[in-house]
Chain A
Amino acid sequence: MKENKLKNKKFIVVSIIPTGIKCEIGGFIGDATQITNLLASACDYLITNPNAIHAGAFNFKAPNVLCIEGFAIDLFFKNKIGFKLTKKNKIGIIIEKIPDKISLKMTLKTIEAFSVVAGVNVIKIEFIKPLKKRIYRINKQFAGEILNIDPILQAGKNLKKKGATALAITTYIPAKLKDIAMYQKAKVPNPYGLLEALISHSLVKYLKIPSAHAPLLTKEEMDFFLFRSFSSDKRTACENISPSYLGSVLISLNDAPQIVENFEKADIVLSDVEALIVPENCFRGIPVAFAIKNQIPVIEVKENKNIFSSLTHFEFLKTENIFSVRDYRKAYEIIQQLKLREKKYTKNKD
């Protein structure tokens, strides 16, 4: 693993809540914010994925929570990139120009609101033509397809060329209202999540720039969320008070760390990570696989149940670096113990 050249080593923990798998905490809209902020209170920085904290028009992440796009987290765990801390990004925005005029006006008003009130620095907007996309179900999850992503990549490239250091993108996600209604009653996973993730993954893959996606709601969806779904699960409540979801994305991107391939320029590298925290039965992605490989402790939180049951032959993965804990409070305590151990080690080394 690449060693961090920083004199003051930071205590960094990563907490991931995968999107679209119906996690009890974080499977809805920003409903993992409180546990994310709790974990962050024990670290110098806590890295998390957008799904955990993006709450429609709202974003209540603590200042030391770094929201990093999922594909960038994968590259980071593969030790292919590091992160450079930043105070304020120049944000470029890609908007899919769907025929619904209310939707577009609401998006533009959101940009004005967050520029004026939150001081987000939006430098340029690029509009793209409507894209052909579809959502389908595979293995209890919603999956997605986009026939042509070239306009997204081209718009991202243009914005980067014009000085953008982070990209927000908002496109229409063709979820059926009956699926949304089922999701709001906690019966199926979030139908938006995966397709959204794939769009931002593509931008990160090709442009190596912090990116995040917000669903562009049509007037019909706004009516549904704002006026016709008051019986929804409380974990989706931010949807009932958000006519545009771009706000949470702009707040996260405002200080999202830059992706750097030259480790000399990085403030955070993989060797800084003291632990990775995941929901129950989520030993299924690149971060966990490479955390185990690099002997980074993995903490599985049992209270965060989801669509997955235990992996067959899970025992194959068992190492002394895997902890299984009851809840996020216990995960927080383990982080504190790791921090104490790290302090003692550093003191003895000095």
Chain B
Amino acid sequence: MKGIKTKLIKIRFEKLNSLASLFQAIEKKLIQEKKEPLRVILIDLNLKKRESLFLVSFIYERK
């Protein structure tokens, strides 16, 4: 059974090449956690702290 949820998720990065690479990183993280991204919105980007905050909506498998 598949469900949909929306959450704030923070990710840290070592080096940031482009905005696209940041989106690829958050999508990769979600997929690793078995969450299939539906909508990903960048809320905050802090280069000094090397972290970014996303509002993500994803599909997940419910047991």
Contact = CB atoms under 8 A, between A and B. Distances in A.
Given A285-B42, A289-B22, A311-B42, A148 B36 contact: no
Interface in A262-310: 283-286, 288-290, 292-293
A197 interface: yes
B57 A290 contact: no
B55 A202 contact: no
A311 B38 contact: no
Question: Considering the complex of A and B, which 6 residue pairs feature the smallest CB-CB distances, nearest first?
Answer: A143-B6, A289-B19, A284-B42, A293-B20, A289-B20, A201-B38
Nearest to A70: B39
Interface of A: 18, 70-71, 136, 138-139, 141, 143-150, 153, 194, 197-198, 201-202, 205, 283-286, 288-290, 292-293, 311-313, 316-317
A198 B20 contact: no
A70 B7 CA distance: 19
Interface string B14-44: 0010111011000000000000101111111
18 contacts: A138-B6, A145-B3, A149-B2, A194-B57, A197-B39, A198-B6, A201-B39, A202-B4, A284-B41, A284-B42, A285-B41, A285-B42, A286-B40, A290-B23, A293-B20, A313-B47, A313-B48, A316-B19
A336 B25 CA distance: 36
